[in-house]
Amino acid sequence: MGLSVKDRLNIYDLFARYCQYVDSGRAAEWVNLFAEDGCFEIVGQMTLRGAGQLGGMPAMLAERSGGKWRHQITDIMIDAGPSDDAAHVGASGLVTDWNDGGRVIMFANYQGALGRGDGRWRIARLTATMLTG
């Protein structure tokens, strides 16, 4: 059947919340964006699986950044998955550091698998591959 406009809007909202929650230290809400066994990987750096590991990410970022890093996820492409309750996303992401006037500190290509359960889209797996120079 494909993805409806409502599905696409809900997925865009999911990624807006991903950025807002991780940047503002809202760990429980950030974890709730993931499936129960959800996984977040930064290739070559870390892999976090399940609520226990994912829940530490916002605090770790706040500690490293003094609370002044901001995530932006853009250019979100959404493709239907093998069922009506599955989708694949590709996106661009950057992190800016506002400790000293603002600058881009990271850029990543994201690939993700999403699933719909309980009427909500959640991240089953999200992989960030950092662009290196």
**pLDDT per position as a tens digit, 59-114:** 999 999 999 999 999 999 999 999 999 999 999 999 999 998 899 999 999 999 99
Topology of domain 5-130 in CATH is Nuclear Transport Factor 2; Chain: A, (3.10.450)
Phi, psi values for residue 73, rounded to 5°: -115, 125
What are the domain boundaries of the chain?
Answer: 5-130
Alpha carbons 6 and 19: distance in angstroms, whole number: 20
What's residue 1's pLDDT?
62
What is the chain's Cα-based Rg?
15
Interstrand relation of 46-49 and 120-130 (parallel, antiparallel or unpaired) = unpaired
Residue-averaged pLDDT of the chain: 96
- Given a contact cutoff of 8 angstroms between Cβ atoms, the answer to whether 7 and 15 are in contact is no
Alpha carbons 49 and 113: distance in angstroms, whole number: 14
